[in-house]
Amino acid sequence: MERRTRKYVRTWRGALGVLLTGGVLLTGCSGASDGTEYSSADRRAAPAPAPAASGGAADNDGAKGADGSKKQDGLRESAPPDYLSTFALDVDTASYGYARRTLADGNLPEPATVRPEEFVNSFRQGYRRPAGNGFTVNVDGARAGADGWSLVRVGLAARAAPARDERPPAALTFVVDISGSMAEPGRLDLVKRSLGILTDELRDDDSVSLVTFSDEAKTLLPMTRLRDHRGRIRDRVDSMEPTDSTNVEAGIRRGYDEAVDGRVKGANNRVVLLSDALANTGETDAEAILERIDSARREYGITLFGVGVGSDYGDALMEQLTNKGDGHTTYIADETQARKVFVDQLPAHLELTARDAKAQVAFDPKTVEKFKLIGYEDRKVADEDFRNDRVDGGEVGPGHTVTALYAVHLRDGAFGHVATATVRWLDPRTRAPHEQTGAVGTEAIDGPLWGGDSKRLQVTAVAAYFAEALRGGRLPGAPGLGELASRADTLASGTEDDSVRKLATAIGRADRLKGGGDDNGSGGAPEGEMD
């Protein structure tokens, strides 16, 4: 369905420009209250989250108009504080992978390519999972160390990924960039190794087709069942060599034509784009490409998975394409990451358990003075569109978790209910709406962050603080990069998680490149939601 989220619109011409700035944190949590699930075709029957506060700071100079328009005395009414936060779910991780690659090359990532939610969602959270489609809702938090500030983590978990033999069959069309820029080590060579790994991992009843593009697009392999054709597929993959310029439009159009012509009934039909996404030839209006993706998605249910490669990577274009294609993006820099994507995470990339999923967090104005969502700037949804199922949300597969981290400033002496989180999604087959809720009170976020019981919450905080520092933001309670690296190193030992060790390494590299000395403050924002 057409995406109508409030987002920064990214355009690209030639070598494609980049995205957003801003700031807010997301993380997940495991010790939370789970609410009741609501399932009804009539969305009016589902209870709404706590309403936004109707009050706010009064204007002492005159009467107020409800719409903030000028009154007869020439004064303008102040809008009431907004205590609702609404966003489309996002399981992309490409921003973090690309940042690690850039830091390993001795450079700081461009702030516009850093999306905190993708840093946070790159790490395991340990949430309890539901038995069927849908989500568990987990809400927890801790004191952030700054005066009156806490972190509140909203964690959503889909059902566990099925065993290899239990998922539906897949029909995958690989659209591979073989332009000249893909000759750099770690691009086409890594794509070829990745496809070799995937060819070994797919089942006999899965099907694949292969399209390449440079200045033009070419079909190397029509949709083919793997059963007795793995050798043929490997031969086609091995034959790919880098050639000329990058005509993404030609590749996308040919790829979707092949996917439509070769679609398999009852299978997960998906286009997989493998590219550095540095378009420089062909259609210069991204909307033309997006229109082709959207029509195939609506008519045939064909979704798009983007896999980015390369030291110079068109992150903005890849995200824009996959958003339109009801898919998501990841980034691979080496064979280890390729195995993680194409082996460990394969079911989550192929199957959908929830369509158009959105979350809405209602903060209690009696206990919360102000709050800030970390990240998700380009996934924001108008509060009133939370239950409007014509407004696009995010797509989630089995094994996925989604974490949103908030910086929350409590009122002095606050006690009791802090926030209620609600997730709404559509069944991927019937499109029936469902909801699930969870809530958190002051007692659940009163403990200290560092040294607290939840190491995963601490990892989430480190990832979010790191992302915000890379894009030049300031978050309350955030330590400098040197201390963050030390805390990540300690957490890596405590969790025995190699991905956290790599996070510590990335933070240390960023600290050296920045020269140390990051400073963070809380600012003096008014009540309600902070920009």
Per-residue pLDDT of the chain (531 residues; tens, 9 = 90+): 434 333 333 333 333 333 233 333 333 333 344 443 433 333 333 333 443 333 333 333 333 343 444 444 444 444 467 899 999 999 999 999 999 999 999 999 999 999 999 999 999 999 999 988 899 999 999 999 768 899 999 999 999 998 888 899 999 999 999 999 999 999 999 999 999 999 999 999 999 999 999 999 999 999 999 999 999 999 999 999 999 888 888 999 999 999 999 999 999 999 999 999 887 665 545 677 888 888 888 888 898 999 999 999 998 889 888 888 888 999 999 999 999 999 988 888 888 999 999 999 999 999 999 999 999 999 999 999 999 999 999 999 999 999 999 999 999 999 999 999 999 999 988 999 999 999 999 999 999 999 888 999 999 999 999 999 999 988 999 999 999 999 999 999 998 899 999 999 999 999 999 986 554 444 445 677 776
Q: Is 190 in contact with 309 (CB distance < 8 Å)?
A: yes
Type and span of the H or E element at 87: strand 84-88
Give the Cα separation of 521 and 405 in Å (integer).
18
Determine how many CB atoms are found less than 10 A away from the CB of residue 240: 19
pLDDT value of residue 54: 31
Bridge partners of residue 212, in order along the sequence: 176, 218
Give the Cα separation of 114 and 22 in Å (integer).
10
pLDDT value of residue 32: 41
Buried b (16+ CB within 10 A) or exposed e, 299-328: eebbbbbbbbbbbebbbbbbbbbbbbbbbb
Buried b (16+ CB within 10 A) or exposed e, 263-281: bbeebbbbbbbbbbbbbbb
Sheet containing strand 217-225, edge to edge, reads 217-225, 207-213, 170-177, 268-275, 303-308, 328-331
| Residue closest to 400 by CA, chosen among 87, 158, 205 | 158
Determine how many CB atoms are found less than 10 A away from the CB of residue 48: 15
3-state SS, residue 106: coil
Tell me, what DSSP letter sits at residue 110?
A: P
Tokens 């286009």 -> residue:
271
Q: Is 14 in contact with 410 (CB distance < 8 Å)?
A: no
pLDDT value of residue 299: 87
Give the Cα separation of 366 and 417 in Å (integer).
8
Cα dihedral 397, 434, 42, 383, rounded to 10, equals -80
pLDDT value of residue 485: 97
Q: Is 461 in contact with 507 (CB distance < 8 Å)?
A: no
Give the Cα separation of 428 and 328 in Å (integer).
16
Give the Cα separation of 469 and 472 in Å (integer).
5
Type and span of the H or E element at 197: helix 188-201
Concatenated DSSP letters of 48-65:
PPPPPPS-----TTS---
Residues 6+ apart with CB under 8 A from 16: 277, 278, 279, 314, 316, 317
